[in-house]
Amino acid sequence: MAPKPLPPLVLSFEHASKQYTNAGDLIRALDDVSLEVGPGRFIALMGRSGCGKSTLLNLAGALDFPTTGHVRLDGIATDTLDDAGLTRLRREKIGFVFQSFQLFNTLSVVENVEVPLLLAGETKTRPKAMARLEDVGLADYANRMIHQLSGGQMQRVAIARALVHNPRVILADEPTGNLDTATGNAILELLQRVCSQQQVTIIMATHSAEASAIADAILHMRDGRIVPAGRSATDAQNLEDRA
């Protein structure tokens, strides 16, 4: 029997490092990270502030680039693209979810969700936006303004916006950090359902062990490196094997 083919990679880090100079001191924000992530994986990044979680997310989202090594999204090395190519990559393949929601207060709920489509030049945006609001349980709130929503509802709008252009990967930076426990758990369950049902890869940075428990792999970071801790050593090997 022929071996089962490996799933295509969504994201890979190939000995990627990121260095900065601060007051003459060399800072390794990311240090020789290699990582392979397939479709439909939910990966949690854990570690103290300054450990490299945000740097890894920035490189994964093509918001920054490695000093050495490569980061590839759908096989494309991000550091080889010009500005137009980077903009197209982010608009087509990446969704962002932030702790502070990053919504436009002057737009309605549905208009916020439409933003990525409008930036991509699409014209018939309302049906897609409404479909995503239905996915997150907010279709009845489409015409409300952002200030009329609770924190959990705002984060659901942000997730709908991140999904509206059918990205390959969602990068979530402390998505429950500003929410109470019950609301945060509801958001995590929503992300887990999105990951499972739509085969969207999610990489989530979090300080919370409870939040990370919902992921199917936990990667612990310290001093810019992925380090063995708890079950992360096995997870790192699983990611390398694309199991």
Whole-model pTM above 0.95?
no
pLDDT tens per residue across span 171-191: 999 888 888 889 889 999 989
What is the reported pLDDT for 243? Answer: 35
What is the reported pLDDT for 162? Answer: 93
Cβ atoms of 199 and 39 within 8 Å: the answer is: yes
What is the reported pLDDT for 146? Answer: 95
HEC states along 2-50?
CCCCCCCCCEEEEEEEEEEEECCEEEEEEEEEEEEECCCCEEEEECCCC
Domains located in the chain, CATH noted: 11-241 (3.40.50.300)
- Pairing type for strands 11-22 and 25-37 reads antiparallel
What is the reported pLDDT for 1? Answer: 53
What is the reported pLDDT for 239? Answer: 46
What is the reported pLDDT for 240? Answer: 41
First to last CA, the chain: 18
Rounded Cα–Cα distance for residues 68 and 47 (Å): 23
Rounded Cα–Cα distance for residues 171 and 73 (Å): 13
* Tokens describing residue 226: 């992925």
Per-residue pLDDT of the chain (243 residues; tens, 9 = 90+): 555 555 578 999 999 999 988 877 888 899 999 999 999 999 999 988 889 999 999 999 999 999 999 999 998 999 999 999 999 999 899 999 988 889 999 999 999 999 999 988 898 999 999 999 999 999 999 999 999 999 999 999 999 999 999 899 999 998 888 888 898 899 999 899 888 888 899 999 998 888 888 898 999 999 999 987 654 334 444 444 443
Integer CA distances (angstroms), 82 to 79, 94, 122, 150, in order: 8, 17, 22, 39
Q: Tell me the β-bridge partners of 159.
A: none
What is the reported pLDDT for 236? Answer: 44
Integer CA distances (angstroms), 140 to 112, 131, 216, in order: 15, 12, 32
